[in-house]
Amino acid sequence: MKPNTTNIRYYELTASEFNWKISEEKTVKAWGFNNSIPGPVLKANKGDMMVIKVKNDLREATVVHWHGIRLPSSMDGTDDVQRPIQPGEEFEYRFVVPDAGTFWYHSHQNETEQMERGMYGALIVEEDSNVITDEDRIFMIDDMKLTATNEFKEGNFFQRWFERHDGREGETLLVNGKENSLIKMHAGQMERWRFINASSAKYFRLHFEGKTFKIIGTDGGLLETAQEVNEVLIIPGERVEIIAGPFAEGEIFSIESLPYNRMTSIKPKRQKYATVKVGASKPSVAFIPENLRTIESLASHDAIVTRKVNFSVGPSWKHGINFLVNGHVHTGDKPVNVGELQVWEVSNTSLMDHPFHLHGFFFQVLEENGKPLDYKAWKDTYNLKPKSKIKIAWIPDNRPGRWMYHCHILEHHEAGMMAHFEVVDPMKGAMKHEHHHHACKN
């Protein structure tokens, strides 16, 4: 057993309603953590224990999910594994963060409202790798749909129908809770920018007016090698880490999203989120190694499928349309055993995109529509294009309990596109005694 040298990081988050100034002209009645959108950045080093006390000062129940963290099921922050935190109550989350990367926390209760109003924040776990940059910044991407008087009020019956079908998108475009922000950086420097898409439904196609940048990481930390691109799609729930720069003094460009047609009634648009201004040059200490890290393959791309999961839509007598997993709304799936390799074929037979998200475990995408991917990555959120399928591999490590997967378009999740399942330890009876002595009880 490892000696008990775990560092403990204590944090307190209070959920409440407050006035949040998005810009000079716009102030909203936000819901969020510690009176800010996003909530505070929670930081830890790989292997630390986090102790986060969440107090609920809202007038309704909430629960906080730690998106991407491989934590014990009882700490996952869903109403499936805990009683939601009632108004006036508090709950203490305690878990070790085993992986470095860009993660985030968000409400997992009445999400279409609580997250839309601002209940999210970043959780960064630092690695001990040799990536050195001149600056490390977080960009939490969101959009709000506001009325002319800056309220969140639901629309009429038809607007609500479209919101359920399309997911809620709005015209108030936020980076870290602010509209039209100005980001200043130095010429000649290379910065690490961590993008987190916290929106309800926006497919954010990151673009710097054509300038190239390097992708170094995704959901579960670094890639094996950096990839040079001039755009990247970041779907709701997903994270992308990039190296921005070096740029020349005087350059000005916008952080924008190119149009993406995800096959809904919302017209794809090119939208500007923020402006970057490059100032006087400063020496750089940045060093991006050729090999960022090694990712072992869990399975070969032709591994035999152990389970099929299907996302689809179907007619609903009550709502017009239902969002389904394996033909059902808010359904359950068969249990999986600790230690048994999972090879899932996840298909989307609907005519629109859905971000597939698995709680608590990372997967590798082995194939998309029968073709192997040309890079390896640890993912917890991956886009399912219309009429397509992916093959993923993952291992239920020794964290038995209740878990789930769902579409990360919040309105689709709410409308039924989710399934619970259990990770079971087949040795449980025999293991009980062992467990008692050796488990690090979180």
Distances (CA, A) of 105 to 78, 115, 269: 12, 10, 28
The residue range among 215-223, 249-257, 390-398, 399-407 that interacts with Cu ion, by the rule CB under 5 A, is: 399-407
Q: How far is CA 325 from the centre of its chain?
A: 20
- Shortest gap between Cβ of 354 and Cu ion (angstroms)? 3
Distance between CA atoms of residues 361 and 398, nearest Å: 11
Q: Which of residues 407-436 bind ligand C2O (CB under 6 A)?
A: 408
Select the binding partner of residue 108 from Cu ion, ligand C2O, none (C-beta < 5 to 8 A, by kind): ligand C2O
What letter represents residue 91's amino acid? F
Q: Is the separation of the CB atoms in 233 and 204 below 8 Å? A: yes
Contacts of 396 (CB under 8 A, 6+ apart): 336, 337, 338, 339, 340, 342, 361, 423
Q: Which of residues 328-387 bind Cu ion (CB under 5 A)?
A: 354
Select the binding partner of residue 406 from Cu ion, ligand C2O, none (C-beta < 5 to 8 A, by kind): ligand C2O
Distance between CA atoms of residues 135 and 194, nearest Å: 11
- Strand order of the sheet with strand 252-257? 181-187, 271-281, 252-257, 204-207, 231-234
Q: Is the separation of the CB atoms in 195 and 315 below 8 Å? A: no
Residue identified by tokens 């859905």 is: 354
Q: Of the two residues 354 and 389, which places its CB atom closer to Cu ion in the complex?
A: 354
> In this structure, what token pair is assigned to residue 213?
């940048």
- Shortest gap between Cβ of 5 and ligand C2O (angstroms)? 31
Q: Of the two residues 69 and 384, which places its CB atom closer to Cu ion in the complex?
A: 384
**Based on the number of CB atoms within 10 Å of its own CB, is 418 exposed (0-12), middle (13-18) or buried (19 or more)?**
buried
Contacts of 309 (CB under 8 A, 6+ apart): 325, 326, 333, 344, 345, 346, 347, 405, 419
Q: Of the two residues 246 and 386, which places its CB atom closer to Cu ion in the complex?
A: 386
Our finding on whether 205 is near Cu ion (CB under 5 A) is: no
Select the binding partner of residue 399 from Cu ion, ligand C2O, none (C-beta < 5 to 8 A, by kind): none
Q: Which of residues 352-411 bind ligand C2O (CB under 6 A)?
A: 357, 359, 406, 408
Q: Of the two residues 220 and 245, which places its CB atom closer to ligand C2O in the complex?
A: 220
Q: How many CB atoms lie within 10 A of CB 428?
A: 11
Site string for ligand C2O, 50-79 (x = CB under 6 A): ---------------x-x------------
Site string for ligand C2O, 234-263 (x = CB under 6 A): ---x--------------------------
Site string for Cu ion, 412-441 (x = CB under 5 A): x-----------------------------
- Shortest gap between Cβ of 388 and Cu ion (angstroms)? 13
Q: Which of residues 106-165 bind ligand C2O (CB under 6 A)?
A: 106, 108
Distance between CA atoms of residues 367 and 59, nearest Å: 45
Q: Of the two residues 118 and 188, which places its CB atom closer to ligand C2O in the complex?
A: 118
Distance between CA atoms of residues 257 and 277, nearest Å: 18
Q: Is the separation of the CB atoms in 400 and 428 below 8 Å? A: yes
Select the binding partner of residue 359 from ligand C2O, Cu ion, none (C-beta < 5 to 8 A, by kind): ligand C2O
- Shortest gap between Cβ of 392 and Cu ion (angstroms)? 17
E strands within 23-69?
Answer: 27-33, 42-45, 49-56, 64-67
Q: Which of residues 242-271 bind Cu ion (CB under 5 A)?
A: none
- Shortest gap between Cβ of 114 and ligand C2O (angstroms)? 12
Peptide bond into 72 cis (omega under 30): no
Select the binding partner of residue 412 from ligand C2O, Cu ion, none (C-beta < 5 to 8 A, by kind): Cu ion
Strands 401-407 and 381-384: unpaired
Select the binding partner of residue 237 from ligand C2O, Cu ion, none (C-beta < 5 to 8 A, by kind): ligand C2O
Distance between CA atoms of residues 298 and 220, nearest Å: 15
Q: Of the two residues 165 and 359, which places its CB atom closer to ligand C2O in the complex?
A: 359
Select the binding partner of residue 391 from ligand C2O, Cu ion, none (C-beta < 5 to 8 A, by kind): none
Nearest CA to 186 out of 285, 278, 286, 283 is that of: 278
Select the binding partner of residue 409 from Cu ion, ligand C2O, none (C-beta < 5 to 8 A, by kind): Cu ion
Select the binding partner of residue 119 from Cu ion, ligand C2O, none (C-beta < 5 to 8 A, by kind): none
Q: Count interface residues toward Cu ion (CB under 5 A).
A: 4
Q: Of the two residues 165 and 406, which places its CB atom closer to ligand C2O in the complex?
A: 406
Site residues for ligand C2O per CB under 6 A: 65, 67, 106, 108, 237, 357, 359, 406, 408
The footprint of Cu ion (CB under 5 A) covers 354, 407, 409, 412
